[in-house]
Structure 1
Amino acid sequence: MSTLRISGLQKAFDGHPVLHGIDLSVRSGSLVALLGPSGSGKTTLLRVLCGFERADAGTIEIEGRRVAGDRLHLPTEQRHIGYVPQEGALFPHLTVAENIVFGLPRAQRRARHRVAELLELVGLPESYASRAPQQLSGGQQQRVALARALAPSPGLVMLDEPFSSLDAALRLETREAVARALAASGATAVLVTHDQAEALSLGHEVAVLWRGKLLQSGPPQMLYRRPATRELAAFIGEAVLLPGTVANGRAHCVLGALPIQQDQHAQEGAVDVMLRPEQIDVLPETAQRDGALEAVVRAITFQGQDAALTLQLIDAHATVRARVPGYRTPREGERVRLAVGGEVSVYPR
């Protein structure tokens, strides 16, 4: 069953289309990451879903109830949506407990309804209930904002880039806590983000918005391994794109004759071949592997857990990028051998 169903959604500002016929269905209890670059229409879509903006065309259904479409526009407070903004937006003059129950009926606010339960759910001790928001870290404030969104037991939770203002270590810790809380509550959620790693690690499904159109949606692994377009491939993670041709069911490029994704029905002819940097195995010069190519390490970007390499192929006079674990980082100028693992995607030229 779908908690959220969007059909043919359109929105324009001053005659300039921003959303072009968006169709999206979000299963009950799942988390969908809405991913896209700046200017793709993510914020506009979120605002239309929440009722902050009126749709020009199309329909929106939440828990089987139509909230927008055919001149219908239910106000925000009637849509049964929980909302977590970028900065948390906690009220500084209220305690943590008072922030959590802020949107509940008066009797439940007085009884501090579910405060202890919700704090435990988001991984905070009950003693934090009496604290002021200013006494919390940024990550803790975001957890309280999530608890506030979950307090009325909404049918849908919208998270608007809730980790963007946190530093790297706190961002990882907070998003893991938020994911656990959402899963434990059984809530259905839409996470709006421009961070590819965040979308791929958190989303049960990822929907990619590009210039106001929904280009592709599906499980994270499918989007990463089989992006629909070369532009999408370059946006979702790092992509190695090489000119080549398809012949006899294989993609031929400077890295050899490579197997094509099984569900791609590639026609023979000129293509761009796409693979991920981690698919290129960087082996010692003395390694023996059929089809391995000789190369020289020309540049290294060391990133701790891994390293990005620029490699010059000796026979083909071309360069490619590869990624290796940090502990296996070769030296600049070192001669190595390259072999490709896994299947590749191809895009007609």
Structure 2
Amino acid sequence: MSTLRISGVSKSFDGHPVLQDVHLTVNSGSLVALLGPSGSGKTTLLRLLCGFERADAGTIEIGGARVAGESLHLPAEQRRIGYVPQEGALFPHLSVAGNIVFGLPRTQRRAQHRMAELLELVGLPQSYANRAPHQLSGGQQQRVALARALAPSPGLVMLDEPFSSLDAALRLETREAVARALAAAGATAVLVTHDQAEALSLGHEVAVLWRGRLVQQAPPQTLYRRPVTRELAAFVGEAVLLPGRVAGGAAHCALGALPLADGIRHESGDVDVMLRPEQIDVLPPAAAGDGTLDALVREVTFQGQDAALTLELAGMPTTLRARVPGYRTPRPGERVRIAVGGEVSVYPR
């Protein structure tokens, strides 16, 4: 497979900038999740990569070969990109085998080139080759769409929100199967999604588009723990933001003196302190000790495996969100003790 490099890509429609100076690298054999809210430019960037649209500025290289740049726009069919759309888009009049080999040369289509290998790669029995698409579940159809994309041995695989139409249980099963298939094929892939959990669980790296700009590209844990802006912190998961001050190498706020995350070097001064709700450990009232604080449970949202709490700190006009395992869910009106674990990020005020 091939390395993808995007350098300084910009695109406008009717004078309205949609992408601005985007730089992105996807190393050979890795999967990068392209994450962003609606209107951030994800679909436009995908269309530029596939060759469906022409960039206004910048260059795109796949496997060291330039496919877009000044006075250059290689047609989509010459870019060796495999594409998996949102709902599979299988041809209803063709069998599973017919769909998989559709993009191959005629001789390979007749020989059903690599059919057994591709079905095994995406976790489907060889007996499915003669089935019609309507005889498959939604998740199975997405696996066939992936096999079709991998059949010509493309340099790059693009997945355009391929799990959005599936129910929760099938979505998890299908994305795990797709991730295994891409890894087994050694594919270089870009997953376009607005689902944070999907991006964090599948991507070797996550690249976030925000208002047409690529604001951060990092491994999932780094992105979640050290987002570069407070807006990004609130978008990727749920963030607790408290006013505070950096002094003596720690962040001081209503929750006490908290250690800064690795790699954060911040001069003393006023900041917003960011931590995640799961960092707030909710303890029984009797669990007094150094570093614990009194709090009142104001609201509870039970979600099965866990619960979201709104807490009010005793003697302070400060409310914050915490998350606890479902079996330890307190009731509204209960008094609890809280402690903070882990490190925090800070943003200048």
Distance between the aligned counterparts of 1:249 and 1:17, measured in 2? 40
Percent identity (aligned): 82
Taking a change above 3 Å as real, the CA distance of residues 79 and 134 of structure 1, as seen in their structure-2 partners, is: same
Output one character per residue of 1:223-251: Cα deviation in whole Å (capped at 9) or x when no partner.
00000000000000000001111122211
Give the residue type in structure 2 aligned to 1:9. V
Distance between the aligned counterparts of 1:19 and 1:152, measured in 2? 30
Give the residue type in structure 2 aligned to 1:253. C
Q: Following TM superposition, by how much is the alpha carbon of 1:318 offset from its aligned partner in structure 2, in angstroms?
A: 1.5
| Helix, strand or coil at the partner of 1:191 | strand
Pairs within 5 Å for 1:54-203:
54-203=54-203
Uncovered stretches (5+) of structure 2, i.e. residues with no partner: none
Partner in structure 2 of residue 255 of structure 1: 255
Distance between the aligned counterparts of 1:97 and 1:173, measured in 2? 22
Distance between the aligned counterparts of 1:213 and 1:343, measured in 2? 28
Instruction: Give the TM-score normalised by structure 1.
Output: 0.99
Distance between the aligned counterparts of 1:295 and 1:315, measured in 2? 9
| Helix, strand or coil at the partner of 2:3 | strand
Output one character per residue of 1:87-114: Cα deviation in whole Å (capped at 9) or x when no partner.
1100001000000000000000001111
Partner in structure 2 of residue 220 of structure 1: 220
Quick check: 1:5–1:62 contact (8 Å CA) kept in 2? yes
Partner in structure 1 of residue 297 of structure 2: 297
Aligned length: 349
Give the residue type in structure 1 aligned to 2:278. E
Q: Following TM superposition, by how much is the alpha carbon of 1:288 offset from its aligned partner in structure 2, in angstroms?
A: 3.1
| Helix, strand or coil at the partner of 2:5 | strand
| Helix, strand or coil at the partner of 2:343 | coil
Q: Following TM superposition, by how much is the alpha carbon of 1:2 offset from its aligned partner in structure 2, in angstroms?
A: 6.1
Distance between the aligned counterparts of 1:15 and 1:115, measured in 2? 47
Quick check: 1:2–1:25 contact (8 Å CA) kept in 2? no
Give the residue type in structure 2 aligned to 1:277. P
Quick check: 2:2–2:156 contact (8 Å CA) kept in 1? no
Q: Structure 1 residue runs of 4+, over 6 Å off? A: none
Range with bigger deviation, 288-297 or 162-171: 288-297
Q: Following TM superposition, by how much is the alpha carbon of 1:291 offset from its aligned partner in structure 2, in angstroms?
A: 1.5
Quick check: 2:2–2:188 contact (8 Å CA) kept in 1? no
Give the residue type in structure 1 aligned to 2:267. Q
Partner in structure 2 of residue 43 of structure 1: 43
Distance between the aligned counterparts of 1:184 and 1:217, measured in 2? 24
Instruction: Give the TM-score normalised by structure 2.
Output: 0.99
Q: Does 1:235 align with 2:201?
A: no
Give the residue type in structure 1 aligned to 2:168. A
Give the residue type in structure 2 aligned to 1:321. R
Give the residue type in structure 2 aligned to 1:326. G
Give the residue type in structure 1 aligned to 2:239. A
Partner in structure 2 of residue 319 of structure 1: 319
Partner in structure 1 of residue 343 of structure 2: 343
